[in-house]
Amino acid sequence: MSKSPQRTPWVWIPSLYMSEGIPYIVIIVVSVIMYKKLGVSNSDIGLYTSLLYLPWVIKPIWSPIVDLFGTKRKWFLSMQLVLSLVFIGVGLTTSGSNFFFMTLAFFWMGAFASATNDIASDGMYLIALKPEQQSFFVGLRGTFYRIGMITGQGLIVMVAGYLETTLGDNNKAWSYTMIIVALLMLTMTAINFFSTPKVEEESSEKTSREASFGKVFSTFFTKKNIGISLAFVLLYRLGESQLVKMASPFLLEERQTGGLGLSTSEVGFMYGTIGVIALLLGGILGGIAISRHGLGKWMIPMALSLNLPNLLYIALAYFQPDNIFFAGTVVVIEQFGYGFGFAAYMIFLIYLAEGLFKTSHYALATGFMALGMMLPGMLSGYIQEWLGYTGFFIWVGIAMIPAMAIAASVKYPREFGKKTD
């Protein structure tokens, strides 16, 4: 196959990474809000929705298949179509008497399809862009991934809240909402079909087709300083992995049981408007900062940026302010800090994937990233029910200590990610 005419990354990166972010956030986070509104306990929510991370954890097992068969473009377009069908399935089963089992089954199928979509989409990013472009566009990539997530956690949740009020039936409201998500994914699939470039793999990727699965894995685990690198991947977001599961239940929980008593629409509005503006600024500035100065200068400031805003939830839980302004301010600060701090994490994952089998090795790195989100998240609901919301957020703050320690200790070229003239 010959290369198609050059298509600017400014066009296809936004749509491709929104198509990663939307299904991920719906399966991992919006499902939390849905189950909370449908009467599921925090402990069950924390356990079962965290288990949905598992496909992202084990995706390295089948990532070589994406390398060895077909093209990255065919893989992600197929998986995005499957995701459209999955969300239709969730929508059709949300109103049933055994909705928890049935919707979880569809979310599981969607999780596997979404994880495979991530493998292929990240492979496209690594193959279609030169190394200096990868560093430059990491901010745009991360920003639109997060915009996809905010579309789910913001706009989609606002739609669900509107339908809850209009229909007076939460089950029907979430059924219609998931069908809307399916239509959105179908639209994104069509956009990616027309916008993404048709590129052949580089010679290094062609060589990987001839490699055995064993070689793909062995070359990853024999990388220099792999032990401390994996510790960084697992611990950098230790606090966030727990916060992300309980933040929405906290905002939605009735005030008499320790929450802020906000409506579904209010939570969606905060994340979908002021939150997305803060996220955009943080993500873009993070990518620019690393491309100008390299990862070494920004690792610690970005680790602080990602972790310190979590402490503000302690004050929210303790004082339980009536005015939504205070909760909105915390969301703005947290989203900006996350966008800025996550840039260092993504650049490090790209560094860790460097070498012959970069698509598969990137999948391995992000698999460990998902493991670092899954295990603490599984326990988050139980910890929250044990400590209460204030105690839980104090615990999240304590989790910042190992995250900062590993950020200061991990090894990498300090100039990595810096744009070359």
Look up the CATH number of the domain holding residue 26: 1.20.1250.20
Each residue's pLDDT, cut to its tens digit, for the chain (421 residues) gives 444 445 678 888 889 999 999 999 999 889 999 999 998 888 888 888 889 989 988 887 887 788 777 788 899 999 999 999 999 999 999 987 789 989 999 999 999 999 999 988 888 887 877 766 776 677 678 778 878 887 888 889 999 999 999 999 999 999 999 999 999 999 999 999 998 888 755 444 444 444 566 777 788 888 989 999 999 999 999 998 899 888 888 999 999 999 999 998 898 888 777 887 888 788 889 888 988 888 999 999 999 999 999 999 999 999 999 889 999 999 899 989 988 998 899 889 989 988 777 777 888 888 898 889 889 988 998 999 999 999 999 999 999 999 999 999 999 988 888 876 5
Cα gap 208→74, rounded to integer Å: 18
Q: Is residue 417 part of a domain?
A: no
Q: Is residue 4 part of a domain?
A: no
Which letter does DSSP use for residue 324 in this model?
H
Q: Is residue 323 part of a domain?
A: yes
Q: Is the dihedral of CA 101, 77, 367, 66 positive or negative?
A: positive
Long-range contacts of 90-96 (CB under 8 A, 24+ apart): 90/178, 91/174, 91/175, 91/176, 91/177, 91/178, 91/179, 91/181, 91/182, 92/175, 92/179, 94/34, 94/38, 94/171, 94/172, 94/174, 94/175, 94/178, 95/171, 95/172, 95/175
Q: Is residue 157 part of a domain?
A: yes
Q: Is residue 5 part of a domain?
A: no
Cα gap 138→50, rounded to integer Å: 27
Q: Is the dihedral of CA 272, 273, 276, 282 positive or negative?
A: negative
Amino acid at residue number 176 = Y
SS3 209: coil
Q: Is residue 3 part of a domain?
A: no
Query: Angle CA(126)–CA(128)–CA(193) in degrees, nearest 5?
Result: 110
Burial (CB < 10 A; 0-12, 13-18, 19+), residue 13, is buried
Decide: 236 and 303 in contact? Cβ < 8 Å: yes
How many domains does the chain divide into? 1
Q: Is residue 161 part of a domain?
A: yes
Domain that holds residue 194: 15-409
